[in-house]
Structure 1
Amino acid sequence: MKLLLVFIFSLITLTSCNDKNKKHKTANSDPASHHVKVKEVLQTDTYTYLFVNENDEDYWMATGKMEPKVNSDLYYKNAFEMIDFKSKELNRTFDKVLLVDNISDKPILATSSLVNDSIHKGINNQVLKDDIHVERAPGGITIAELYKNGNDYANKKIVVRGQVVKINNSIMDRNWVHLKDGTNNEGKSDLTFTTKDDVKMGDIVTFEGTVSLNKDYGAGYVYPLIVENATIK
């Protein structure tokens, strides 16, 4: 209740100032978060498309399946901006659409993680949390070895075998696959691959791809280490 009152008070203050360039935030909200009002909802088998307003600007967003109501408030942090985005299910091309990874129906607190506040955990996103123990691929390296010696492998092709623990499909014209093999280096055990190949949750796969360091895809998506253009061996 206290947070709600602070939020309402903040809205009143912003309205009285008539400052269209300020985002709607609570006193404790993350300054990098966005607050939008839902104006229209389009559903497909894969995505939910939202026509929203933020600070008097209208735009389209797409996220994984959810059931928001018109005039409801939503919050998010990161998004991929896609230009001339073609939706086959809607038979429609959007001039611009934001692909949003996590959406919350509550203001995102600066001291909390979005995952805890989220009502949806990502675009076509699946997560596996089981204990994993996968043998090293012949001629390959472990995830721990890659994280430990990342600089030595920069811009080089490597082979890694692991179990698929997370998938984000069809973002920026590629699939984003997370593998674990049971090894870790200083707490790093999850390795992200970009690929055109299709995999399923729980699959044991061997990927060959090129290591990239400090890769910035924009919109806050920065990977200190990622394996790109991976293919299944």
Structure 2
Amino acid sequence: MKNLKKLFAIGLLLFSIHVLAQDPHSESGLKKVIVQEILQVESYTYLNVLEEGAKKWLAVPKMEADLGGVYYIKEGMEMRDFESKELERKFDTIYFLRYITNADFAVAEEGLADPNAVSLDKASAKQPTLDQLNLVMDSVAGGVRIGDLFKNKDLYAGKKIKIKGEVTKFSPQIMAKNWVHFQDGTNFEGAYDLMVTTQETLKVGDQVVFEGVISLDQDFGAGYAYKVIMEEAVVVK
């Protein structure tokens, strides 16, 4: 059995090197990887892949991946000393991807699937954006609109409020928090995008109700500075 496993591993490595050497999409800016190991948790899929002869770890929202499968990626956010509580494992370096797709869809950037999508093959999946969306949604009982929050920010400072909106961008595990760009279709003097920090795992296009504490003039360093931010937010029904 040990010999069979060893032969399989050698065969997989040789196959990976052969496939990587024949890359028809190299000019597109995509990088070809071959899956060597797959770890599944509730919301994420961790992939140990071979890229140009070197192994690296990738993280994407939950997907069905094939051992030995060929995928095309664009590098995402590099995280060092990242610890997965679900796996009880620390990764020296791991990349949270913006794009991953299989060979059938690696034709052009327009054909790439968003990792925020549930299925990689969903061409209709919403893409992350910071542009203002044309959203129309009912307010939550006892909640606050984003436009009203920006207009009356001093009134809500330090208070816990509810806001119903849509996730337009999701950035996981930065400074031990998930960062969510959130809109509800309202604005005040051009301010329409609310930053939310949370431990919840979401994807672009999710419409949820957040409850969290409003803070003003927060500067976390590294370019993370916000006049209005909702912190310690949880998703409520």
- Tell me, what secondary structure is at the counterpart of 1:118? coil
**Residue in 2 that maps onto 1:103:** 100
**Counterparts of 1:180 and 1:206, CA distance in 2:** 15
Identity %: 24
**Counterparts of 1:58 and 1:38, CA distance in 2:** 9
**Residue in 2 that maps onto 1:84:** 81
* Matching of residue 178 in structure 1 with residue 181 in structure 2: yes
Letter paired with 2:43: T
Letter paired with 1:176: W
- Structure 1's 210 and 120: CA in aligned 2 closer, same or farther, altered over 3 A? same
Match of 1:191 among 170, 190, 193: 193
1:90-146 deviations in whole A, cap 9, x for unaligned?
222211111224321132614x2xxx53174269xx97x96225554797325xx99
Structure 1 residues without counterparts, runs of 5 or longer: 1-11, 17-23, 147-156, 218-222
* Matching of residue 132 in structure 1 with residue 120 in structure 2: no
Aligned residues: 186
Q: Do the aligned residues in 1 keep the contact of 2:146 with 2:194 (CA within 8 Å)?
A: no
Q: Which runs of 4+ in 1 moved over 6 A?
A: 157-161, 223-226
Q: Do the aligned residues in 1 keep the contact of 2:33 with 2:70 (CA within 8 Å)?
A: yes
Match of 1:118 among 77, 97, 113: 113
Structure 2 residues without counterparts, runs of 5 or longer: 1-17, 119-124, 127-133
Over the residues paired in the alignment, what is the CA RMSD in angstroms? 4.7
* Matching of residue 62 in structure 1 with residue 59 in structure 2: yes
Q: Do the aligned residues in 1 keep the contact of 2:213 with 2:230 (CA within 8 Å)?
A: no
Offset at residue 178 of structure 1 (A): 3.0
TM-score by length of 1: 0.57
**Counterparts of 1:25 and 1:226, CA distance in 2:** 46
Higher RCO by CA contacts (8 Å cutoff, separation 6 or greater): 1
**Counterparts of 1:94 and 1:199, CA distance in 2:** 19
**Counterparts of 1:132 and 1:53, CA distance in 2:** 44
